[in-house]
Copies of this chain bind each other. A is one copy, B any other.
Amino acid sequence: MSIKIGILGYGNLGKGVEKAVKQSPDVELEGVYTRRNPADLKIDSEDVPVRSAKELENGREDIDVLIICGGSATDLPEMTPKYAKLYNVVDSFDTHANIPAHFDNVDKSAKKGGKIGIISVGWDPGMFSLSRLYASAVLPDGKDYTFWGKGVSQGHSDAIRRIEGVKDARQYTIPVESSLKAVREGKNPELSTRDKHLRECFVVAEDGADKAKIENEIKTMPNYFSDYDTTVYFISEQEMKKDHSGLPHGGSVIYSGKTGDNKHVIEYSLKLDSNPEFTGAVLVAYARAVYRLNREGVTGAKTVFDIAPAYLSPKSGEKLRAQLL
């Protein structure tokens, strides 16, 4: 019997979830839910209905887990608690400072409905968080470093697009090679924001736009760019399409710890051709776990820290022990 998945929101992440569902023999897509007019939305899975998000509200949709693919700024804080009363839900909430409040809201509402709401699933937060936890639990005397990239930051790309005279933009976050090297060698350096990452921007300017002004606006933009060494390249629309249409990302969590005088370096790294497709795949694995745990009677808010790894795999305990241990 398959686990029935609903997807709420059909942007890049929702499409990534859809692809991941297709690769998983034990889950199937029951419906895609949208806040737009369902008739206007064409999805890849031709045999799957597109329905209005409103249909979810009576709690009677025939789905085991709802994967909520919304933004962390305004969508998820409202949607995840709302639907956690009615369905097991998974989200990828990533506004770090607000995780405790979001967790509490989801917890109350999931417990009320006898469901599980797992929040902040993906790779960071998500797989990277797991690496930080495992490493620090094993080696309490140590320090973790997280490097992102090389990869496209959609938030930074959007910030550039909002500048006057910019037609399109793509921003790559790149770890500083010498800092990565020092951390990997267990040197435990103190690193400033600028020491850890570079920012590389590819910009298509409107005809006749003032490129020097655009470049200066990017480089001095607070929070996004002013604390980094930033390089700006102006390219044609054609080059943008040809060379920068993917959404690759990745990075490394490096933990450098000690037992007595002996040093140990633990590194978990990801090189992803598609950030939203990988994130979608993580969401589906945790949807499987949530479904199983809820059937065992577990309810409330959870994070990746609370889920025993075996629940993520479709394989039995016997098989896992024989094949992967």
Contact surface of A with B, Cβ cutoff 8 Å: 16, 19-20, 23-25, 96, 99-100, 103, 120, 125, 127, 129-134, 136-141, 184, 186, 259-260, 262-274, 277-278, 280-282, 285, 288, 303-310, 312-314, 317-318, 320-322, 324-325
Contact = CB atoms under 8 A, between A and B. Distances in A.
Given A271-B265, A274-B259, A309 B134 contact: yes
A313 B137 contact: yes
26 contacts: A24-B140, A96-B325, A99-B325, A100-B321, A100-B322, A127-B266, A130-B134, A133-B309, A133-B324, A137-B285, A137-B309, A138-B282, A138-B285, A184-B271, A186-B271, A262-B274, A264-B274, A265-B271, A266-B268, A267-B267, A267-B268, A303-B320, A304-B325, A305-B309, A305-B324, A307-B309
Contacts of A133: 309-310, 312-313, 320, 324
A312 B134 CA distance: 7
Nearest to A140: B23
A313 B278 contact: no
A285 B139 CA distance: 9
A25 B280 CA distance: 38
A69 B236 CA distance: 64
A312 B136 CA distance: 9
A267 B269 contact: yes
A268 B271 contact: no
Contacts of A268: 131, 266-268
A325 B121 CA distance: 10
Contacts of A131: 268
